[in-house]
Amino acid sequence: MGGEILVIGGGIAGLTSAVEASETGYSVVLVEKTPFLGGRVAQLNKYFPKLCPPFCGLEILYRRMRTNPKLKFFTNTEVMSISGSAGDFSVNLRIKPRFVNENCTACGKCKEVCPVEVENEYDFGLSKRKAIYLPHTMAMPFIYAIDEFKCNKCGECVKVCKYNAINLNETEKTLNLKVSAIIVATGWKPYEARKIANLGYGKFKNVVTNMEFERLASLNGPTNGKILANGNPINSIAFAQCAGSRDENHLPYCSAVCCLASLKQATYVREQYPNAKIYIFYIDIRAFGRYEDFFAKVAKEKGIELIKGKVAKVEEKDGKVLVTAEDTATGQKIHKEVDMLVLATGMQPSLAENPIAGIEVDEYGFVREKPGIIPAGVAMKPLDVMFSNETATSAALKAIQFAKR
């Protein structure tokens, strides 16, 4: 079993580089650590600046994968180590058991009988799921998975599965691959907001992160897409930019997407609550290039106030969130009482805390390129989806130069 190009990570960058390289005629193996493809974008409600759903693009990518014999993928698979050099890498993979095989028709009977309910990481713990699960109805592969650590092996699911798709005795496998080039598209995770002591995350219920907010606004999220604070509609909301980004105490770099993400999220609020007050506290609005159009459009909307000054103090009062910042344009402190505060938390490269032997990273955890080991997407630097896909396409080019058709 071998492929010419290995892609690590099944998020948007990994999928794009895998699809582009394989459609150019190269054999590609993609590995994804979790049981499902899609990565972070699958958790988003909409993309900026078009406000279109991420599943639209994912659907096309998945379809291209399904009809492409040159592209193989493994989920639940981690890269343990990489050795060798460009043109001749040896990669050790660990395939964790899924306990559910290809026979699964996603009929959903197992889920109904599973007695174990756990926090749903797809919704950042804002909802529950069963130990045997599909995160959402656009999941790829469209096969259930069992949570290795949460399943109590009661066997109820096995009893109801008519298709002989569940094997609770499945064990971990290892695999060695020989490849010519490796595209590292390991992506990112939201920065741990609890570490930002003055912003109240984890202390106050209605302080949420921007990624959690995506889930709250998503139709397939914990509230079926209704944005609610304490179960009630929103009258006012604040967005705190640079929550952890551009901050020496946290992520010193700019995460490049959060300004636009918050502007986008302001449109979610506006769509559901035409009269809600929306405050965006920022240092610099980084709507570069043609994103400026989007910024100009949102800024023009009524009831959206942009305040130049970082939120530095957050308190709670009668279930409301009290936000304080200094408006640097007027030199006055601003206090706003809002129903919800969204922290525009930044992106931390996945490899910062979970390194892979053989992949070199910089002081922040971003991958350093070397011959045959090619970063793509946020593994390379903070990027939005469009730029991630550009780097992913570029990575595909660099990879094919080491591979044989």
Partner 1 sequence: MIADAKFAKEIIQAGGKSLKKCYQCATCGVVCPQSPDENPFPRKEMIWAQWGAKERLLSDADVWLCHQCNDCSDYCPRGAKPGEVLAAIRAKVVEHYTFPSFLSKILRRPAGILVYFAIPIIFTALYLAIFTPEIPEGEIVLGKFIPHVHVELAGFAVGAWVLLVAAISAYRFWVAINSQVSKVYEYEVKEGGEIKVVKSSARFLEYLFWSIIDILKHSKFQQCNKAKYRFYAHFMIFWGFIVLGIATLGDIVYLYVLGYHELALPITDPVKILGNLGALILLVGSAWAIVARFSDQRIGYGTYFDWLFLATIFAVGVSGVIIEVLRYSGSVLAYYAYLAHLIIVFTLLAYAPYTKFAHLLYRALAYVWAKSVGRELKS
Partner 2 sequence: MEKVGVYICTGCDIGKLDVEKLKAVSQEFGIEAKVHPFLCSAQGIEFISKDLANLDAIVIAACSPRVKASLFNFNGKYVERVNLREGVVWSHEMNEHTQELAEDYLRIGIVKAQKAEKPEPYKQETSKDILVVGGGVSGLTAAIEIAKSGYKAIIVEKEAELGGFARKLYKSLPTSSPYTRLEEPIVAKLIDEVKKLGIQVFTSTIIESIQGQPGMLEVKLKQNGNTLNLKVGAIIVATGWKPYDATKLSEFGYGKMKNVVTNVEFESIAKNLGKKDVVFIQCAGQRDEKHLPYCSSVCCLVSLKQAKYVTSNGGNAFIIYKDMRTPGLWEDFYKAMQDDPGVFLTKGEVKAVKENGGKVVVEVANNLLGEDLTIEADLVVLAIGMESTMKGLYTIKEEFPDEKTVPYKHVYEPRLIKSAEEVEQIKQIGHILNLAYRQGPELPTLRYGFPDSNYICFPYESRRLGIYACGAVRAPMEISAAMEDARGAALKAIQAVELVAEGKTTFPRTGDVDFPNFFLQRCTQCKRCTEECPFGALDEDERGTPMPNPLRCRRCGICFGSCPERIISFKQYSIDQMSSAIKAIYVPDPNWDETAAEKFRVVAFVCENDALPALDMASMNGVKLNPLVRFIPVRCLGSVNTVFIADALSKGIDGILLMGCKFGQDYQCHFIRGSELANRRMENVQETLQRLMLEKERVRVVEVSITDWDKIAGIVNGFVEEIKKLGANPYKGF
**Cβ atoms of residues 114 and 130 within 8 Å:** yes
When the beta carbons of 54 and 309 are compared against partner 1, the nearer one is: 309
What number of chain residues touch partner 2 (CB under 8 A)? 84
Q: Which two tokens stand for residue 36?
A: 């499902």
If 0-12 CB within 10 Å is exposed, 13-18 middle and 19+ buried, where does residue 364 land?
middle
Residue number, 148 or 247, with CB nearest to partner 1: 247
Nearer Cβ to partner 2 (24/324): 24
Which member of 152, 328, 354, 371 binds partner 2 (CB under 8 A)? Answer: 328
**Closest residue by Cα to residue 64 from 103, 29, 18, 104:** 18
Closest distance of CB 63 from partner 2, Å: 7
In the list partner 2, partner 1, none, the entry touching 396 (Cβ below 5 to 8 angstroms by class) is partner 2
Binding mask 163-192 for partner 2 (x = CB under 8 A): xx----------------------------
Q: Which of 292, 301, 353, 360 binds partner 2 (CB under 8 A)?
A: 292
Which does residue 101 touch among partner 2, partner 1, none (CB within 5 to 8 A, set by kind)? none
Residue 299 beta carbon to partner 1: minimum distance, rounded to whole angstroms: 20
- Which segment (157-165, 166-174, 245-253, 270-278) binds partner 1 by CB under 8 A? 245-253
Instruction: Say how many CA atoms lie within 13 Å of 168 toward its Cβ.
Output: 15
Give 362's Cβ-side CA count (13 Å radius).
14
Residue from 151, 234, 187, 169 nearest 43 by CA: 187
Q: Which of partner 2, partner 1, none interacts with 401 (beta carbon under 5 to 8 A by kind)?
A: partner 2
Stretch near partner 1 under the rule CB under 8 A, chosen from 46-54, 215-223, 240-248, 358-366: 240-248
What does the per-residue mask of binding to partner 1 show for 175-204, with x meaning CB under 8 A?
A: -----------------------x------
315 binds partner 1 (CB under 8 A): no
SS (H, E, C) 11-38: CHHHHHHHHHHHHCCCCEEEECCCCCCC
E strand map for 86-235: 88-95, 117-119, 128-130, 132-133, 145-146, 173-179, 181-184, 188-190, 207-209
Question: Does the protein bind partner 1 through residue 254 (CB under 8 A)?
Answer: no
Closest CA to 400 of 13, 73, 26, 82: 26
